[in-house]
Amino acid sequence: KQEVTQIPAALSVPEGENLVLNCSFTDSAIYNLQWFRQDPGKGLTSLLLIQSSQREQTSGRLNASLDKSSGRSTLYIAASQPGDSATYLCAVRLGGSQGNLIFGKGTKLSVKP
Protein backbone atom coordinates (compact mmCIF):
# COMPACT_ATOMS: atom_id res chain seq x y z
CA LYS A 1 0.00 0.00 0.00
CA GLN A 2 1.39 3.37 -1.04
CA GLU A 3 2.16 5.74 1.83
CA VAL A 4 3.36 9.33 1.52
CA THR A 5 5.25 11.06 4.31
CA GLN A 6 6.15 14.73 4.57
CA ILE A 7 8.83 16.03 6.88
CA PRO A 8 8.84 18.34 8.72
CA ALA A 9 5.20 18.74 9.73
CA ALA A 10 5.79 22.41 10.40
CA LEU A 11 8.55 24.86 9.55
CA SER A 12 9.16 28.47 10.51
CA VAL A 13 11.79 30.54 8.71
CA PRO A 14 12.73 34.21 8.43
CA GLU A 15 11.91 36.04 5.24
CA GLY A 16 14.52 35.66 2.50
CA GLU A 17 15.71 32.24 3.49
CA ASN A 18 15.92 29.37 1.01
CA LEU A 19 14.18 26.22 2.21
CA VAL A 20 13.50 22.61 1.29
CA LEU A 21 10.38 20.58 1.96
CA ASN A 22 10.65 16.81 1.84
CA CYS A 23 8.28 14.13 0.60
CA SER A 24 8.86 10.39 0.60
CA PHE A 25 6.75 7.54 -0.76
CA THR A 26 6.96 3.81 -0.17
CA ASP A 27 6.20 2.41 -3.65
CA SER A 28 8.24 3.73 -6.56
CA ALA A 29 5.62 2.59 -9.11
CA ILE A 30 4.06 6.03 -9.49
CA TYR A 31 2.66 7.75 -12.56
CA ASN A 32 3.55 11.26 -11.45
CA LEU A 33 4.02 13.45 -8.38
CA GLN A 34 2.32 16.76 -7.72
CA TRP A 35 3.01 19.52 -5.21
CA PHE A 36 0.13 21.66 -3.95
CA ARG A 37 -0.29 24.68 -1.77
CA GLN A 38 -3.24 25.07 0.60
CA ASP A 39 -4.11 28.31 2.35
CA PRO A 40 -6.22 28.06 5.54
CA GLY A 41 -9.81 27.10 4.79
CA LYS A 42 -9.18 27.01 1.05
CA GLY A 43 -8.83 24.44 -1.67
CA LEU A 44 -5.58 23.15 -3.14
CA THR A 45 -3.57 25.10 -5.68
CA SER A 46 -1.37 23.06 -7.98
CA LEU A 47 2.26 24.22 -7.92
CA LEU A 48 4.27 21.68 -9.88
CA LEU A 49 3.71 18.36 -11.60
CA ILE A 50 6.59 15.97 -12.21
CA GLN A 51 6.05 12.99 -14.48
CA SER A 52 7.67 9.73 -13.40
CA SER A 53 10.20 10.02 -16.24
CA GLN A 54 11.30 13.51 -15.18
CA ARG A 55 13.87 14.55 -12.60
CA GLU A 56 12.73 18.08 -11.82
CA GLN A 57 10.35 20.90 -12.64
CA THR A 58 10.72 24.62 -12.06
CA SER A 59 8.24 27.45 -11.75
CA GLY A 60 9.52 30.84 -10.66
CA ARG A 61 11.09 30.52 -7.20
CA LEU A 62 9.95 26.91 -6.89
CA ASN A 63 11.90 23.84 -7.93
CA ALA A 64 10.70 20.30 -7.38
CA SER A 65 12.87 17.24 -7.81
CA LEU A 66 11.96 13.59 -8.07
CA ASP A 67 14.09 10.53 -7.34
CA LYS A 68 11.66 7.73 -8.06
CA SER A 69 14.07 4.90 -7.27
CA SER A 70 14.63 6.15 -3.74
CA GLY A 71 11.02 7.27 -3.27
CA ARG A 72 11.81 10.91 -2.61
CA SER A 73 10.83 14.35 -3.80
CA THR A 74 11.86 17.78 -2.59
CA LEU A 75 10.31 21.19 -3.06
CA TYR A 76 12.86 23.99 -2.98
CA ILE A 77 11.62 27.52 -2.34
CA ALA A 78 14.11 30.29 -3.02
CA ALA A 79 14.12 33.63 -1.26
CA SER A 80 11.03 32.89 0.82
CA GLN A 81 8.41 35.59 1.36
CA PRO A 82 5.63 35.99 3.97
CA GLY A 83 3.16 35.29 1.17
CA ASP A 84 4.62 31.79 0.87
CA SER A 85 3.13 30.93 4.27
CA ALA A 86 0.74 28.02 3.71
CA THR A 87 0.54 24.25 3.97
CA TYR A 88 2.37 22.41 1.21
CA LEU A 89 1.07 19.01 0.18
CA CYS A 90 2.79 16.32 -1.82
CA ALA A 91 0.74 13.73 -3.71
CA VAL A 92 1.69 10.74 -5.85
CA ARG A 93 -0.55 9.45 -8.56
CA LEU A 94 -0.84 5.72 -8.89
CA GLY A 95 -0.80 4.07 -12.26
CA GLY A 96 -3.57 1.93 -13.62
CA SER A 97 -7.10 2.77 -14.69
CA GLN A 98 -8.01 4.77 -11.60
CA GLY A 99 -4.92 6.90 -11.14
CA ASN A 100 -5.81 8.07 -7.65
CA LEU A 101 -3.76 10.66 -5.81
CA ILE A 102 -2.26 9.60 -2.48
CA PHE A 103 -1.47 12.57 -0.27
CA GLY A 104 0.96 13.27 2.52
CA LYS A 105 -0.27 15.20 5.56
CA GLY A 106 1.57 18.31 4.51
CA THR A 107 4.18 20.72 5.82
CA LYS A 108 2.87 23.92 7.38
CA LEU A 109 5.24 26.73 6.43
CA SER A 110 5.42 30.06 8.19
CA VAL A 111 7.67 32.76 6.76
CA LYS A 112 8.21 35.58 9.23
CA PRO A 113 8.89 39.13 8.04
Partner 1 sequence: SQTIHQWPATLVQPVGSPLSLECTVEGTSNPNLYWYRQAAGRGLQLLFYSVGIGQISSEVPQNLSASRPQDRQFILSSKKLLLSDSGFYLCAWSEAGHTEAFFGQGTRLTVV
Site residues (CB under 8 A) for partner 1? Answer: 4, 31-32, 34, 36, 41-46, 49, 89, 91, 93, 95, 97-101, 103-106
Minimum gap (Å) between residue 91 Cβ and partner 1: 8
- 60 versus 113: smaller Cβ distance to partner 1: 60
* Planar angle of CA 21, 12, 2, nearest 5 degrees: 30
- 51 versus 81: smaller Cβ distance to partner 1: 51
Rounded CA-CA distance 59/95 in Å is: 25
Minimum gap (Å) between residue 32 Cβ and partner 1: 7
- 13 versus 94: smaller Cβ distance to partner 1: 94
Minimum gap (Å) between residue 66 Cβ and partner 1: 15
Minimum gap (Å) between residue 97 Cβ and partner 1: 7
